[in-house]
Structure 1
Amino acid sequence: MVARIGLTGDVMLGRVVDRRQRRRPVDAVWGDVHDRLRDLDGLLINLECCLSTRGRPWRRTRRPFHFRADPDWAVPALSRAGVDACALANNHVLDYEEPALRDTLDHLDGAGIARAGAGRTLDEALDPATFDAGDLDVAVVSLTDNTPEFAADEDSPGTAWVEIDAGDDRSRRIVREALGRARAADPDLLVASLHWGPNMRTTPPEPFREFARWLVDEGVDVVHGHSAHVFQGIEAYDGTPICYDTGDFVDDYAVDPGLRNDRGFLFELSADDEGRPTELRLLPTEIDDCRVQRAGPEAARWSRERMRELSEPFGTEFERDGEELVLSFGA
């Protein structure tokens, strides 16, 4: 039996999204994509904010933006969308310092939403998120190279931070520790969710490509990248999908008229009963009024053409199925 697992880029529920959501139904943030999300067997997102009403904005180092969502609506919204796991290794989970991070961990745990990539100590941050997707057991490790001042250590809360360098001894040690813990759960599908690189870059640098391929060689079944706020190309390496950046899914960000960071996709991975990826389906989406929507015809065409262009250097070719792009993996 085939399992369908959704992957999204950044889900930022703070600031203007938070204010709008206080005046509308909690599931309004998912727009007309809500039913599609609910129909999936599993759903993994990058949660690009903390869930709390406590804490104070981080001022220990310069931070131009601080993202925090009221858990009274945000947690039910995640649950109603069917979110199974959140990647937390990113550059906003400590925007309101340690109290808000601890609240985020507690709220997700209380809602039964798995999480990885941040914790009260580095030991906790390296633990995988695990969930069921149909008949498959899925494990997720979450890592970031953003904001080293947010890095957890043996005694302090924060993120699972690494250098994106497959030759760096510390990075290899940290990654292998996280992957070993994930494999101990005996998953059918192992996902590496990476918040890596700077904003508004449309192509991954060569060290990122090397790092992603090294992860596959280490046994990762899917690479789920995010951070750039725009989607990047997809590579199929040894039958493994590498989504270098899944862009933004919902937020309140200013839109670059050329890069169109308001346009993206819901990435829907199908895997067989042994956890082998069989298909990656891309549903075009766009952000409007602080909610995610199915993309209109012009936006969908733009995103499809852009994804084909960005993926061509990797030798990746898509088929077209209605408004969606489809990448199939050989048996």
Structure 2
Amino acid sequence: MTAIQANHLSKSYGRFQAVNDISFEVEAGTVFALLGRNGAGKTTTIELLTGFQKPDTGAVMVLGLDPIRDRAQVRGNVGIMLQEAGFFPELTVRQTVEIWRDFTPAARPASEALELAGLTAKAKTKVRQLSGDEKRRLDLALALLGRTDALFLDEPTTGMDPEARRNIWQVVRDLAARGTAVLLTTHYLEEAQQLATKLAIMDRGEIVVGGDMVETLAARVGRVSFELPSMIHPGELPLPATVRGRLAVVQAADPDLAAQTLLSWASDRGLRLRGLEVRTASLEDLFLELAQSYDIPQDDVSSGSDRGSRSDRPAVSGDARA
């Protein structure tokens, strides 16, 4: 069942085209990764899908409803974790969750939401005393208060340490397994590859790559790397290779077959290929490929290091969220 649908969606701010005629669907029980550099259009897309912004053209359906026209009904069945949320600094974590519960239909107990977000030990701590990591987890706890059928997560693990990040991954997996449709934006490529079964990569407001995660990566070139034996010239290898120092890299559509060819060649010559590594295409490889094709800055994505995030929307006078 389709839970989230964008159909020829467009949104501009003056002359700036933030989203340009994009379409995709998120099925119930799946995680969909919406990826791209800063300013690609991801945040605007989420705001359109959640009813915070009205599209210039196109249509949005969430759980079969219009998120603007049917706002109250949609909000009761949708969880939203945006990049920034406002908290009352003098309230405790538990008090914050309890207040949000009053506005959430059929809300789960506060203790359950805190446990899901890994904040049980911080229940009595004032919000102003939380670290950036802990504030993001509080954002998540509030998004999970409702027993949602659709969940929007905009950069959910920014600033989290590796252990906290992996704990959140498991929460997302569990929610999807129970039938929740999850739309995720992230700059952590490993996170997207670990969680998502579908993806769309945006650039300049358009989707430049989209589809099934496994199929999309399988269609890309993999690689085999190894230490080039000291007595061997790169031209002697059975497959074309790029050599930097003593590291040889062979790119191949079928990296396993390429590795077998290289090992057979080395065995016939009594050679050992040290440090042999076989790797299928990853999201990082895909982004590097797109960076060359679409001039995407390579430092706008991350394979795992902590970084901040910025909205793709320019400052616009009078821009207010509902």
Determine which structure has more spread, i.e. the larger CA radius of gyration. 2
Bigger proportion of residues as strand: 1
TM-score of the pair, normalised by structure 1? 0.33
Using CA pairs below 8 Å that are at least 6 residues apart, which structure has the higher relative contact order? Answer: 2
